[in-house]
Amino acid sequence: MTQAARKIRLVLELRRAGVTDTRVLSAIERVPREIFVPEAFQDQAYENTALPIDCSQTISQPLIVGLMTQMLEPDKKMRVLEIGTGSGYQTAVLCRLFRRVYTIERHRELLKQAEARLAELKCHNVTAQCADGTRGWPEQAPFPRILVTAAAPEMPATLVDQLDEGGIMIVPIGASVSDQWIYKVTRGRGGFKEERMSQVRFVPLVSGEAPAVS
């Protein structure tokens, strides 16, 4: 089966599993996941599974990418803050759905690789930095949308504070990998509303910039 056929099969699988926003499905279809996947896993690029990448991180399962992106309620007029660039795959999906993507990665080598891939795909509406994602991006706050792609042990107050009025944050919460849930946080005039969505399994959200690889 060709990569193109595998991609079509994956998109159909995501639709059946609950990714119903046609804009999100179109964005996923337009992003070549194979360039974000290590050579050893090329045959699994369009399987609905998470895969290992450098720095002991993972590229997320396509279904989780689709569901979390859909929960954000994307809007081409909006900016979005992504915490955890990783391979850049989720970033590439976001750049097709938002006016500008601000993304933070604590592993400098991962960010370098991701930026090269995003440049190859002509994702020119992405601004990235190597930094502590738990601090957010205060110089650019507030954000109408925030997406966190690592699991925080508790609701990250600093990131919540950077959410604009009417804004949405999607964040996995859970101190244990066996008890992590996606939360949708909506900021209204009277405060914050939290909704527990789907159970997931993410790498932990870690503070501080990762040490350089020698």
pLDDT single digits (tens) 27-41: 999 999 999 999 999
Torsion angle (degrees, nearest 10) of CA 31, 205, 67, 196: -170
Please pick, among 60, 87, 198, 207, the residue that the annotation labels catalytic: 60
Is residue 60 part of the annotated active site? The answer reads yes
Residue that is written with structure tokens 């995003």 in the block: 118
Residues in the chain: 214
Is 151 in contact with 202 (CB distance < 8 Å)? yes
Task: Compare 145 and 176 and report the one with higher pLDDT.
Answer: 145
Q: Look at the alpha carbons of 160, 164, 167, 169 in this order and tell me if their dihedral is positive or negative.
A: negative
Average pLDDT of the segment spanning 127-134: 96
pLDDT at 9 over 90: yes
pLDDT single digits (tens) 102-120: 999 999 999 999 999 999 9
Q: What is the pTM (predicted TM-score) of this model?
A: 0.95
pLDDT at 169 over 90: yes
**Over pLDDT 90: what percentage of the chain?**
87
Looking at every residue in the chain, the average pLDDT score rounds to 94
Q: Which of 123, 69, 67 is nearest to 100 (CA)?
A: 123
**Over pLDDT 70: what percentage of the chain?**
97
What residues does 63 pair with on adjacent strands?
A: none
Which fold would CATH assign to domain 3-200? Rossmann fold (3.40.50)
pLDDT at position 214 is 45
Q: What distance in Å separates the CA atoms of residue 124 and residue 112, rounded to the nearest whole number? A: 15
